[in-house]
């Protein structure tokens, strides 16, 4: 199940696209090429249904550059322009109006859904007929994790080996219906995060003695995760996903200065998830470059997990969602 990518050709005034956030189970953390934004290793993620970015792109009349409004606030348009520039040749400047259904910049992958929605809407407004894999390469230039939001359900971003990055792209692993896992996001701090993913992974690459070991271990994790997902083996997926997240954070903790993304609420959630699993609940955790905890649950188990995490000291609130489709156009 993927969102619709192309409208029939017509003169377009304004295009709306949506993309779900995604959560990596095998993490992306570090790059083989900074300028082209090529990850050092592959990653595997799930795309979420209800944590989404909706983006409207419309050509601007007359002169003037791009404009970017996020959640009602005018923003620096340079990051948006850099991505649109990859799609437009002599095409007009645009006004881009984006809205997230969840807190921006708090480790909930808003840059992933944001860039994915942007490339889908941008390609449509410029009248380009580009397939999803090619769009994932464009989205990747904006944010590595964004490439994965082009696909629904279970998705893999391939690091590729070519210098120009033309084989660094996402592909679908399975549709959401293959294994309708549920996700509980425990928000332990809804403010903006202190160190962005990009800055944090650069600092880890430059200074962490554990970074080479981290990169060397990812291919094995990808193999394990692919197999666990294909066979719907929850215990195996829990083991490799928690291992990947903890290793990513271990490499970041060992940077100089050390990157400590977690707070007391984060740790409380990690322990609670482990206790729930020991008690027979199908749940495991993952954590990105921020203090929120994402609890991945077997179908039907997220209610109990949400109730437990919501009751912990240090948890502001919880969000619940299932798996959703890849980025696509929204009908007017």
| Binding-site member from 144, 152, 176, 328 for ligand DP6 (CB under 6 A) | 144
- Output the smallest distance, CB 137 to ligand DP6, in A: 13
| Binding-site member from 288, 302, 315, 318 for ligand DP6 (CB under 6 A) | 288
Helices 302-310, 264-278: inter-axial angle, 10-degree rounding: 140
CA distance 62 to 64: 7
Contacting range for ligand DP6; rule: CB under 6 A; set: 23-31, 90-98, 130-138, 160-168: 23-31
Locate 50 and state its tokens: 């209800």
Nearer to ligand DP6, 24 or 295 (CB): 24
CA distance 301 to 294: 14
Give yes or no for a contact between 147 and 37, defined as CB atoms under 8 angstroms apart.
Answer: no
266 touching ligand DP6, by CB under 6 A: no
Contacting range for ligand DP6; rule: CB under 6 A; set: 22-30, 86-94, 223-231, 271-279: 22-30
197 touching ligand DP6, by CB under 6 A: yes
Nearer to ligand DP6, 159 or 238 (CB): 159
Give yes or no for a contact between 80 and 68, defined as CB atoms under 8 angstroms apart.
Answer: yes
CA distance 86 to 194: 29
- Output the smallest distance, CB 41 to ligand DP6, in A: 10
Our measurement of the distance from residue 119's CA atom to the centroid of its chain's CA atoms, rounded to an integer in Å, reads: 15
CA angle 56, 131, 86 (to 5 degrees): 60
28 touching ligand DP6, by CB under 6 A: yes
Contact residues toward ligand DP6 (CB under 6 A) are 24, 27-29, 37, 43, 111, 143-145, 197-198, 288-289
């Amino acid at each position: 199940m993927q969102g619709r990518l192309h409208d029939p050709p017509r003169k377009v005034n304004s295009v709306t696209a949506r993309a779900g956030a995604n959560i990596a189970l095998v993490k992306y953390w570090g790059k083989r090429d900074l300028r082209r934004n090529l990850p050092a290793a592959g990653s595997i993620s799930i795309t979420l249904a209800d944590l989404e970015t909706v983006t409207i792109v419309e050509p601007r009349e007359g002169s003037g550059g791009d404009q970017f409004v996020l959640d009602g606030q005018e923003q620096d348009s340079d990051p948006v322009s850099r991505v649109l520039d990859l799609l437009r040749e002599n095409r007009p400047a645009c006004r881009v109006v984006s809205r997230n259904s969840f807190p921006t910049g708090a480790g909930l992958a808003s840059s992933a859904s944001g860039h994915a929605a942007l490339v889908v809407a941008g390609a449509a407004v410029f009248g380009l007929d580009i397939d999803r894999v090619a769009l994932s390469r464009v989205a990747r230039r904006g944010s590595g994790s964004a490439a994965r939001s082009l696909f629904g359900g279970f998705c893999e971003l391939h690091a590729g080996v070519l210098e120009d990055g033309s084989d660094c792209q996402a592909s679908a692993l399975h549709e959401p219906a293959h294994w309708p896992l549920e996700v509980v996001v425990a928000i332990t701090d809804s403010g903006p995060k202190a160190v962005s993913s990009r800055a944090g992974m650069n600092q880890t690459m430059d200074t962490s003695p554990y970074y080479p070991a981290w990169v060397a271990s990812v291919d094995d994790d990808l193999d394990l995760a692919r197999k666990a997902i294909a066979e719907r083996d929850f215990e195996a997926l829990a083991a490799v996903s928690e291992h990947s997240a903890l290793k990513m954070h271990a490499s970041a903790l060992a940077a100089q200065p050390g990157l400590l993304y977690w707070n007391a609420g984060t740790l409380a959630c990690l322990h609670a998830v482990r206790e729930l699993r020991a008690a027979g609940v199908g749940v495991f955790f993952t954590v990105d470059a921020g203090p929120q905890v994402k609890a991945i649950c077997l179908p039907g188990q997220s209610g109990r997990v949400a109730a437990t995490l919501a009751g912990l000291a240090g948890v502001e609130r919880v969000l619940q969602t299932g798996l959703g489709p890849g980025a696509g156009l929204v009908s007017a």
